[in-house]
Amino acid sequence: MSNAVPMSQSRSFQTHLVLPPDTNQHSSIFGGKVLAYIDEIAAITSMKHAKSGVVTASIDSVDFVSPAYVGDILELEAFVTSTGRTSMEVYVRVMSRNIKTGEKKLTTESFVTMVAIDGTGKPTPVPGVYPETEREKKLFETGPNRQQLRKAKRDSAKERRKLLDNDNQQ
């Protein structure tokens, strides 16, 4: 891929403090709040890569690994791990840090698919990516498997919608 750029070029970071309005009855952060942070950093990351506007095509996977509580600091890291013609897979890792103890733990991992768009809202081509670190290489090498899973999921969803549309028309 002659127009490929290093994954590090899109790397983005965000930091958030977990506040009481962001939490549930257990004083842990709402999953929806974490999802909003994930979607935002995935958009920023993919815009840096594509040098254009983007839209979220899908949140492919979200693994809530451990809770974050009121007073914890959330540290998000994201970067583009693979690309299609107009789409980008973005890996997002959310770590929580207990400010009192210094303990740092994985809170959430996610893969998000973003699509680059031009000024008229039409999909537009994006450059490829290449890995530089061992972690990036692992994510890059496993990208085609995740892409196959996304395609199978999309195909299944299309069939389901078609069946449901037929049921609604009867």
Which residues are bridge partners to 28 per DSSP?
69
Determine the pLDDT at residue 150. Answer: 87
Buried b (16+ CB within 10 A) or exposed e, 108-139: bebbbbbbbbeeeeebbebbbbebeeeebeeb
Residue 136 CA to residue 90 CA, distance in Å, equals 12
* Sequence-ordered list of residues with C-beta below 8 angstroms from that of 144, at least 6 positions apart, any chain: 82
Determine the pLDDT at residue 155. Answer: 87
Determine the pLDDT at residue 115. Answer: 98
Q: What is the mean pLDDT of residues 57-63?
A: 95
Name the nearest CA neighbour of 49 among 93, 4, 94.
Answer: 4
What's the pLDDT band for 2 if we cut at 50, 70, 90? low
CB neighbours (10 Å) of residue 31? 13
Computed over every residue of the chain, the mean pLDDT equals 95
> Residue 1: is its pLDDT beyond 70?
no
Residue 142 CA to residue 125 CA, distance in Å, equals 22
What's the pLDDT band for 158 if we cut at 50, 70, 90? confident
- The pTM for the full model equals 0.91
Residue 15 CA to residue 31 CA, distance in Å, equals 16
Determine the pLDDT at residue 23. Answer: 97
